Amino acid sequence: MRKQGTGPISPVASLSLFLFTVLFLAGCTPASYRAEKVKEEIASIAEKEYGIRQCDVRINGTTLGVFLPLDQLFAMDFKEAILSGQVTDMEQLFQPTEKAIDRIEDMLFSMSRVMLSTDKKIDFYYLQAADTEKTGMEMMFLGASDDVKKVRFWDIPRSEYRKRLIYEIQLNRPILWHRPVRKFFADLNTMTRQELKPRYFKGQEDVKWMKEFYFEDATGYPLERAQASWEILDIRSLVLQDRQVVVYAKTRVTPKGAKIPPETPEYLFHVSVDGEKEKITRIIPMAMMASAFDDPSFPMNRDMILKSLDRWDTEFNVPNMTTGEFLALQLTRRIQMLIGQDERIYNTFSGVKVMLKYEPSKPCHYSLYMTAPSKDIRQKVYSATGGINADVIYLWELAAREFADVLHGYGYKDWDYLMFFLSQTKSYSWRASREDLELFRRKKKSLQDTLVLTTSRDTAA
C-alpha cells in the first residue's frame, strides 16, 4: 500500500504550528477597537505585550495584513545542511525555530484580539513571517475571520479549520535585494566616516558624499560621525537585467543637535547579485537624477521612475482578497491533497496537478484546470464515441465533491457554473451548473450527467 501524501508543506503541519491559530483566541478579552485605530492597536499590543517592536500592519480592502521580520525562521542553515549530506529528508529543512513559532503565535494573538473586536469590516487576515537576516524565506498564512469565529464557538471542528487555513513557504526575493540597502542606512547611523568609505564610497572623493550624508558641519568641516539619524519609509526594487537590480528608498533623515525639521530624501541603489551576495555598486540621490542619465546601464529618468514605482517589487503585499478567490486558493490545496491520498489515482495517473481559479467576470464561475497524464499511454481521456474516460470521471468526481461541499459549507452562491479543463484536450472543456452540482452533492445526480461538452469556440463566445 502506498504511503499517503500529506500536501506541499507537511513539515509545518507536523509541528502542529497551526493548532495555535485555533487556540490563540482562548485568552481574548472583550474590547472595542475603533476602525481608524486598527493598525496602531495591533502594533501596540504586539510591542507592549510580546516585545515585537518591528512589524508592518496594513489593510487592503477587507484584508488585514501584517509583515513580521524575523532574525531566523528555520532551524537549519539550508546550504550547510545540504552540503553536509546529513539531510536525507528535505522536510527537515523546513522546521521553524521555537523562537520563530513563538513570535508568529504572538503576532496572531495580537491580530486576533483586534480583528474580532473592532467595528471595521475585516473578512480576511494575512501574515507574512519572513527571515530578513539570512535566507529571505518566509511563511505566509491566509485565513477568513469568520472561520476563526466558527472554530472558536465549535461551529466547525479544528480539523476542518486547519483545512480552511492557507499556508505557504516561499522565497521573498526583494528581501535579499533590499538587504544591502537596509544595511547601508543602519551603518550610516552607527559607523564612522573611515569605516563607511571603503564599504560604500571606495575611490570617490569625500566631498561627493560627506555633505549628502551629514558628515560635515555647517562650515563644511569633515566630521567622524554623521550628524543625523536615518530611517527607511519606503523601499522597492526593479530587476534591470540578470544579476542587476535597482532599489528605490525613500528615507526620513533627522539632523542631530539642530532645530532643523526632518527631510525625506530619495535614493536609487544599483545592487549586483553575485551568487549568494548582494552588493551596492552605485548610489544615486534622486535630487541629482538630471545629471545621471548618460549612463546606458540605467535607461530611466526621474519621471519614469516615479510613475512606475507602484509596479516595482516590494517585500510586503497585502492581497485585496475576495471570498471567491479565497475559496479557489483553499480548494486548490484541498483537492491536491485529496488526490495525493487516493490509491486509484496514484495507480492510474502520474503527477496530477490541479489549479482552481475564480473568474469574477459575469457570469461569475470557477475553472478547474488539471494536468493528469495516464500511466497507460494507450488510454485516451476523451473520444467522440467513448466519451470521457472513466478514470478521469473518477478524478473529477473527487474534485467536484470537495468543491461542492466546501462552497455549500460557506454558503457561497456568487457563481453560476464550474468549468473542467484537461491539458490533454485543449479544444474541449466541460461545464457543470451550480444547480446540477448541488444535485450531485446531494447524491441525486451523477457528475457525468451534469457535464456539458463545450469547444474552445463556445468558451470564447
**294 and 216 fall within a common domain:** yes
**213 and 358 fall within a common domain:** no
Closest CA to 179 of 280, 31, 78: 280
Q: Judge contact between 388 and 430, C-beta under 8 A.
A: yes
**273 and 225 fall within a common domain:** yes
Helices (H), 252-373: 302-308, 323-340, 343-348
| Residue 3 included in any domain | no
Give strand pairing partners of 67. Answer: 56, 128
**23 and 123 fall within a common domain:** yes
**292 and 331 fall within a common domain:** no
**455 and 329 fall within a common domain:** yes
**376 and 436 fall within a common domain:** yes
**328 and 442 fall within a common domain:** yes
| Residue 425 included in any domain | yes
| Residue 317 included in any domain | no
| Residue 1 included in any domain | no
**155 and 38 fall within a common domain:** yes
**196 and 273 fall within a common domain:** yes
53-96 pLDDT per residue, tens: 999 999 999 999 999 999 999 877 665 555 555 555 556 667 88
| Residue 5 included in any domain | no
Per the prediction, the chain carries an average pLDDT of 86
**194 and 248 fall within a common domain:** yes
State the residue range of the domain holding 138.
10-170
Give strand pairing partners of 130. Answer: 69, 138
Which one-letter DSSP state was computed for residue 257?
Answer: S
Compute, in degrees rounded to 10, the torsion defined by CA atoms 218, 224, 229, 230.
110
Closest CA to 76 of 34, 137, 6, 13: 137
| pLDDT tens-place values along the chain, 461 residues long | 443 333 444 445 444 444 444 444 444 455 589 999 999 999 999 999 999 999 999 999 999 999 999 999 987 766 555 555 555 555 666 788 889 989 998 999 899 889 989 989 999 999 999 999 888 999 999 999 999 888 888 888 888 988 999 989 999 999 999 999 999 999 999 999 999 999 999 888 887 899 999 999 888 889 999 999 999 999 999 998 778 899 999 999 999 876 788 999 999 999 998 766 899 999 999 988 765 555 666 677 788 888 999 999 999 999 999 999 999 999 999 999 999 999 999 999 998 999 999 999 999 999 999 999 999 888 888 887 778 899 999 999 999 999 999 999 999 999 999 999 998 887 889 999 999 999 999 999 999 999 999 875 454 44
Three cell numbers at 191?
559607523
Give the count of domains, the chain.
Answer: 3
**360 and 217 fall within a common domain:** no
Peptide bond into 174 cis (omega under 30): no
